[in-house]
Amino acid sequence: MVGVALAHGGTRALSYLMPPYTIPLETEIKIRIPVLLFTVASAAVTALLFGVAPALHLTRRDLARGLSGAGKGEGSVSSHGNLRNLLVTAEVALFLVLLVGRVLSCGVCSQS
């Protein structure tokens, strides 16, 4: 709700700050209800998907067995550890690709 209030205030501020001759009459700065509903729905689905799935996974684990062997070096790498490592590696690789792309695009812009 805070985001919607900030968006509403921001759009009103933008419409007051823009000179009237730079925006065509057909273009209007406002919050569109279908876009807002899609954003709220996608945020809710994302929160449920990435919030409930780990919680369900933790309820199925035998925590006592994991804690009893933790001091002996057992159970330090789970079957999900490989997936976690793969996701972290993919995230770092994507970050580097985006960073290199941004640096190259800035280099092209500054030469023009």
Q: Per-residue pLDDT tens, the chain, 112 aa: give them.
A: 888 889 889 888 877 777 666 556 556 777 888 988 998 899 999 988 888 877 887 777 666 666 666 555 544 555 667 888 888 999 999 999 999 988 888 765 555 5
pTM, to two decimals: 0.44
The predicted structure's pLDDT at residue 91: 94
> Secondary structure of the chain in the HEC alphabet?
CHHHHHHHHHHHHHHHHCCCCCCCCCCCCCCCHHHHHHHHHHHHHHHHHHHHHHHHHHHCCCHHHHHHCHHHCCCCCCHHHHHHHHHHHHHHHHHHHHHHHHHHHHHHHHHC
- Residue spans of the domains in the chain: they are 2-60
